Amino acid sequence: MSNDLWKLTAVQAVTLLKKQEITPLDLIEASAHRVAEVEPAVNALPTLCLDRARDHAKRIMVGGAACEASGEAGWLAGLPVSIKDLTDVAGLRTTYGSPLFANHVPTKSHPLVERIERKGGIVVAKSNTPEFGAGGSTFNEVLGRTRNPWNTSLTCGGSTGGGAVSVATGEVWLAQGTDHGGSLRGPGTFCSVVGLRPSPGRVTRGTVSNLWSQLSVQGPMARTVADLALFLDTMAGHCPRDPMTFDAPAMSFSEALARPAAPRRVAFTADYNGRLPIDREVRDICTKMAVRFAELGCLVEEASPDIGNIDEAFLNLRSQHFVVDRELQLKEHRDKLKADIVWNTERGLNQTPSAIAWAERERAAFYRRMIEFFETYDLLVTPGSLTPAFDVNLRHAETIGGKKLETYISGSTLTAAITMTACPAMAVPCGFDQYGRPVGLQLVGKPRGEAALLQAASLYENLLGLHRLLPIDPKPGTVPPSTP
């Protein structure tokens, strides 16, 4: 039985743990068995800590109901999870995907990891990421490439690619990740799992150098929306180390899913009023599948907020973010940083204060337009990505819809634009293209509207039933030809 436990959802596994019908050690062994089976094909969890996990499990089993957080929302009761290799775990090699930190072992865990472990989550592995999380494909010089389990010749996306693969294949039940321009949503789309970018402040980032920037957030990935809500309950809440955080809601996100309400009016746009290139089949699939919200009683209309020049504004503010994080490393170790990071940081160093000020004004104006948009609509739906998963050996898609990309982040504007609004957004699977590559939708909720967003996603997920295809065994394949 223990070797089949990896097939359970997180909610099912936690229910059995609470009833003491299984133990955390049972789940760790099931996870270890599954990792041994699939890792050679996908390289999602290159750093394991099974002995550390077993020690933690024994402490939980001794504490039982007396554990401090056992009655709190998001109590995981000894469920194994993966932590992205950007996030410190005490005593466990944490490389950030960089040769500069190839042998780095932190002595203290990130505040979010401390929260997850206090709430009964057991860290069994670190998931792979691009160098410092910069990239739409998951690979680095330290730990290699992570492959898409639906077709191992393809990328899993980035930068929470290892996390997405670890839940899609059943190596773990939940995965922690981060999102700047789409790093939880892109891999979710490419791997047919759900990934949520929460509102800034919903989940602690710890004490980061970009302390007041809302661009990067921490968040959950899972196979089902109910599992995602559970893990968001684990993560959410005020943290004194992060001044942007606020208290968790009085009603947990899991409770909110028990009485889901469908959105009244849903807006769908494939490309923000023709602003973006998009793969033709992705457009067709997403357009067809967005209309299915009508089966939930929703009024579905084609409509888009005016994004203005938010793509350029995002690039300016992202570059400034890189200056804060990477300027000192660039001075001392330029030859050890990958080209994308050097480019983004130097772009920030060379831009004028006026360029940053313009970007802030553009972001503020876009936010005001989004607030007005949500006075009419309850949910915004877009494709989860402009293109299906591409060759695992590429840094990024070279062309989309027949158009050559200008930069490595040009293919992320669908998600990066939403980053600039501070609205919660998530990836939800919606189908497959002619080559069997997953296609997904991005669902965008009102500011701090995670509960309503998760409710809509849960109703839609149950309508389609695609979550029942997971977890999967990795499948070999070939790279499909480029399409217009």
What amino acid occupies position 78?
G
Got the DSSP string for 201-228? TSB---S-SSTT--S-EEEEEESSHHHH
Encode pLDDT of 266-298 as tens digits: 999 999 999 999 999 999 999 999 999 999 999
Cβ contacts of residue 477 below 8 Å, gap of 6+? 150, 151, 152, 153, 154, 436
User: What pLDDT is stored for residue 343 in this prediction?
Assistant: 97
User: What pLDDT is stored for residue 63 in this prediction?
Assistant: 84
Superfamily designation of domain 2-469: Amidase signature (AS) domain (3.90.1300.10)
Cα–Cα distance for residue pair 458/461, rounded to 1 Å: 5
Residues with pLDDT less than 70, the chain: 1-2, 64-66, 483-484
What tokens does 448 get?
Answer: 């701090």
Q: State in Å, rounded, how far the first CA of the chain is from the last one.
A: 47
H or E stretch including 52? helix 50-63
User: What pLDDT is stored for residue 429 in this prediction?
Assistant: 98
Distances (CA, A) of 109 to 119, 211, 221, 336, 400: 14, 18, 20, 26, 40
User: What pLDDT is stored for residue 408 in this prediction?
Assistant: 84
pLDDT above 70 as % of the chain: 99
User: What pLDDT is stored for residue 442 in this prediction?
Assistant: 99
Contact 173, 10 (CB under 8 A): yes
Threshold 0.85, pTM exceeds: yes
Cβ contacts of residue 23 below 8 Å, gap of 6+? 17, 57, 61, 78
Contact 411, 397 (CB under 8 A): yes
Contact 99, 144 (CB under 8 A): no
> Please, where are the H alpha helices in 142-279?
161-168, 185-191, 225-235, 253-258
